[in-house]
Amino acid sequence: MERVSRRGFITSAGVGAIGAAALGGAEAETAAATVRAAGEPAPITLRVNGRARALSVLPRTTLLEALHEHLGLAGTKPGCERGECGACTVLVDGQTRYACQMLALEAEGHEVTTIEGLARGEQLSDVQKAFVAEDAMQCGYCTPGQVMAVEGLLRHEKDPSLDEIREGVSGNLCRCGAYAHIFKAAQRAAAARRNGGK
């Protein structure tokens, strides 16, 4: 399907298929290839944490909803559902993304990594261990998103400065204010990773 522009949507409002895609989210420009009527579920296959997961979702369904509600991956948290807080941060092809700002349809064909994908069995990842050691959490609700933001940062920057860390997690709100400990956790995780995962 051709790219659907915002202008195109306005001039063709009411046309079922295009309207359905645009209704699903603000990012109509990047709407997925398969578009159905708004009320009709679409079968999709998501690659989540290395596994193919087949599900059937309404076109409006966000990646956050697909993960949290449909797949039971409840570690990806709804906080605002409008791209303000980062509680739903995941990696899409290794890039940090707000899962609430992406349609599930758009995530087809991409590799999605959630908080559940970091640990090996019950063995926590280096970033998760660093969060434990530095007490980089309070209520814990934003924590999976913070961990994913640090994971995303460290995949691109092996030795981030404090300013880069602050920038790297600045899209993730923590109302309890655990930021100071989150910075320490990021530094600890970076050091552990540089030292060969110890």
Partner 1 sequence: MTDTRPWTETKVVGTAQPRIDAHERVSGSAVYARDLVLPDMLHAAFARCPHAHARVKKVDVSRALAMPGVRAILTADSPGAKLPFYFTPKGPLSWLFDPHCRHEGEEVAAVAAETIHEARAAAKAIAVEYEELPFVVDFEKALDPGAPALHEGGNRAGEPEKHERGDVAKGFAEAEAVVEMTFRTPCEIHTPMETHGSVVKWEGDRLIIHDTNQGVFDLRSAYAQYFQLPLGNVRVTSQYMGGGFGSKLEPGKYTLAAALLSRQTGRPVKCFLSREETFLCVGNRPPNLLKLKIGAKRDGTLTALQLVGVGTGGAYPEGSDAGYLASDLYLCPNVKIEETNVYINAGKARAFRAPGFPQGAWALEQAMDALALKLGLDPVALRLRNVPKVSQRRGGIPYFSTGLAQCLQDGAKAFGWEEARQRPRGSGPVVRGVGVAAGMWGWDGDPRGTAIVRYVADGSASLTTGASDIGTGTKTWMAMIVAEELGVPVESIHVDNADTDTTPYAVLSGGSQTVHVNSPAVRAAALDVKQQLLEMAAEQLKTDVASLELKDGVIADRSAPDKKVALKDLKPLQEQQTIVGVGRRRPHPKGKVGLPFVAHFAEVEVDTRTGEVRVLRLLGAHDSGRVMNRLTYQNQVFGGMTMGIGFAMTEDRVLDRNTGKMANANWHDYKIPTAKDVPPDFACLPVDLRDTEWNSTGTKGIGEPATIPTAPAIANAVFHATGIRVTETPINPTQMARLLAARKAGR
Quick one: which segment of 11-19, 47-55, 110-118, 152-160 binds partner 1 (CB under 8 A)? 110-118
Quick one: which segment of 27-35, 49-57, 138-146, 188-196 binds partner 1 (CB under 8 A)? 138-146
The residue among 42, 13, 40, 41 whose CA lies nearest residue 28 is 13
Largest CA distance in the chain: 57
Q: Is 58 in the site for partner 1 (CB under 8 A)?
A: yes
In the complex, the smallest distance separating the C-beta of residue 8 from partner 1, rounded to whole angstroms, is 25
Closer residue to partner 1 in complex, CB, 5/82: 82
Near partner 1 by CB under 8 A: residue from 19, 25, 59, 75:
75
Give, rounded to a whole angstrom, the gap between the first and last alpha carbons of the chain.
48
Q: Is 26 in the site for partner 1 (CB under 8 A)?
A: no
Quick one: which segment of 6-14, 16-24, 91-99, 117-125 binds partner 1 (CB under 8 A)? 117-125
